[in-house]
Chains A and B, each alone.
Chain A
Amino acid sequence: MKGRFPMAIEVRNLVKKFGAFAALDHVDLKIRSGELLALLGPSGSGKTTLLRIIAGLDWPDAGEVSFDGQNALARGAGERGVGFVFQHYALFRHMTVFENVAFGLRVQPRAIRKPDSAIRARVKELLDLVQLDWLADRYPGQLSGGQRQRVALARALAIEPRILLLDEPFGALDAKVRKELRTWLRALHEEINVTSIFVTHDQEEALEVANRVVVMDKGRIEQVGTPSDVYDNPETAFVHGFIGESIVLPVEIHDGVVRLGDTALNIAAERGSAGPSKLFVRRHDMQVSAPGWGGLEGTVRRVRTFGPIQRADIAVPGRLGETVIEIDAPRDRELHSGDIVGLQPRRYRIFADQP
């Protein structure tokens, strides 16, 4: 929209505590100019706190935040050029949609404030952008969730921010609207060329919308990467477990041999790894074969078939009795409950248990 170059953000060694609880535990992150970044994690992972600190709505206990190399913490929220879209939109309920969007322009100091006609034109332009020009005279209470979301976005964009921050932008919407808005947000990001960060706990949303994903847990960054990076090459047990559906089996590594209970598995351990660990396998990466060839075997308990796959619950022996795992197998070989089958992970990761 405007020809300004979008801002790069750098976060260094950020710490934020709420009482004894560490919301952010020494976080470092570089956000590139113009990218669409997702902060993904479960609740309490610190993602919203990080977003609010970047916005200037919270202050860290220690650490630095800089925009294009300049210290941002010295400036208040209103002076950072940041557009913030709140989780529950925080629309001014006593103002019309039009006045909500115009607010940021109307509160500017008299010296730089645009004349009323220019403000009206700008608001009209923004409402066109979010396709809500026909609702300009309504109050927030009269809008649907998706419409409120778009008003909040238009309001944040009115001040021509160089950074756009969105806190759980789709969290309060129903599934269908959510899908539509995702596509729309991507397209909008291409159009307005603003460095954008959004917080979400929904992995599908993060993987589908963002250029890069930051996975967070317990105030720490677990992994930063493209959506395919974090899905295909998870770097930690947490990321593997959090993104995509995984089968997790407790195993024991000894002299390079991976064991599940008493059974030695036909898979290689990484060099040097030993002791209690977790084996992570994607559901569709667990290959079903005929039994009797060594390795892991299990009993089929229940089979559901839909589309090209059959999903089977298979009981495997473990250290503490049976565990039931859920696998997705192609339908070239019909499974029946009671079958004994061999199981061989095609792709897998092993992470040593945290001591």
Chain B
Amino acid sequence: MSGGLRRNTLPGFGLTMGLTLTWLSIIVLIPLAGLFLKTMELGPDQFWAILTSRRTLNALKISFGLAFCAALVNLVMGMIVVWALVRYRFPGRRLFDAIVDIPFALPTAVAGVALTSLFAQKGWLGAPLAELGIKVAFTPIGIFVAMVFIGIPFVVRTVQPVLLDLDSEIEEAAASLGANRWHIVSKVILPSLMPAVLTGFALAFARAVGEYGSVIFIAGNLPNVSEIAPLLIVIRLSEFRYADATAIAVVMLVAAFLIIFAVNRLQRWAQVRAPAQ
């Protein structure tokens, strides 16, 4: 093979790939690698001690536990919203469709102060809830509410295109075979939406676990009660306890990677199950 033969028609591969890798390394890879290097310095005992301290454990429990509950609510409510938006025609449908994206677009600090004022004891919703004896702001319920807010778009936006693409012929086929509406929904439609629903759930969960801005205002931030893991990282940093901050960050980062890995598997599953045209 003569070495002088050129491989690509379009120019610039070497240059653009080189720049891409360099820039990616500077902005993303080296900083993330630094985090892991810092953890290595800790040693397993110290690492373990930090993670199993009562305050850290509780913060992680609160973050992961409430994020899971919030993602579950997002799953159910997301399905209802998707169904209404895709299957029915009602006044304001397009507006509500656009509104779904607001939690994506609204800066988290704005969402945080807005939700806090809304659910505070004298807030528009806080006051009537207080009369019922329910306190939302500055309690774990507040964290949960904020997590539900920021998770809304995920289930809706992952399931919506799948439900839109769902061939109406399969429903007609099921109907012609004698299935009633309940059978069609539960045995035909929901199973085909499953991969998308789980993907949306996982994405909402991942987002809620790492969420900071919209949660800290409404959370109350009482150690062991309403203190989320990202806030504990910030507190440790402000105390210059870098080792503690790093250890918690690594756990959360690994969890996030695992979730993304699961999402990728789900996507592959969805592709396998995509109807062959």
Contacts and interface: CB of A to CB of B under 8 A. Distances in A.
Specify the main secondary structure of chain B where it touches its partner.
Answer: loop
A180 B2 CA distance: 44
Interface string B1-25: 1101111010000000000000000
Q: How large is the interface on B (under 10, 10 to 19, 20 to 34, 35 or more residues)?
A: under 10
Interface string B33-63: 0000000000000000000000000000000
A58 B1 contact: no
A61 B9 contact: no
A61 B1 contact: yes
A62 B1 CA distance: 5
A60 B9 contact: no
B5 A60 contact: yes
A60 B5 CA distance: 7
Specify the main secondary structure of chain A where it touches its partner.
Answer: loop
B5 A61 contact: yes
Contacts of B6: 59, 73, 76
Interface in A55-74: 56-62, 73-74
Q: Which of A56, A59, A76, A77 has the most CB of B within 10 A?
A: A59
A228 to B, nearest CB: 37
Contacts of A57: 9
B9 A56 contact: yes
Contacts of B7: 59
Contacts of A74: 4
A76 B2 CA distance: 16
B2 A62 contact: yes
A58 B4 contact: no
A281 B110 CA distance: 82
Contacts of B1: 61-62
A60 B9 CA distance: 12
A66 to B, nearest CB: 14
B24 to A, nearest CB: 28
B5 A58 contact: no
Contacts of A56: 9
A58 B9 CA distance: 6
Nearest to A71: B4
B1 to A, nearest CB: 6
B177 to A, nearest CB: 39
8 contacts: A58-B9, A59-B5, A59-B6, A59-B7, A60-B5, A61-B5, A73-B6, A76-B6
Interface of B: 1-2, 4-7, 9
Given A57-B9, A59-B5, A73-B4, 10 more contacts: A56-B9, A58-B9, A59-B6, A59-B7, A61-B5, A62-B1, A62-B2, A73-B5, A73-B6, A77-B9
- In the A-B complex, the 5 residue pairs with the smallest Cβ-Cβ separation, listed nearest first, are A57-B9, A59-B5, A59-B6, A62-B1, A59-B7
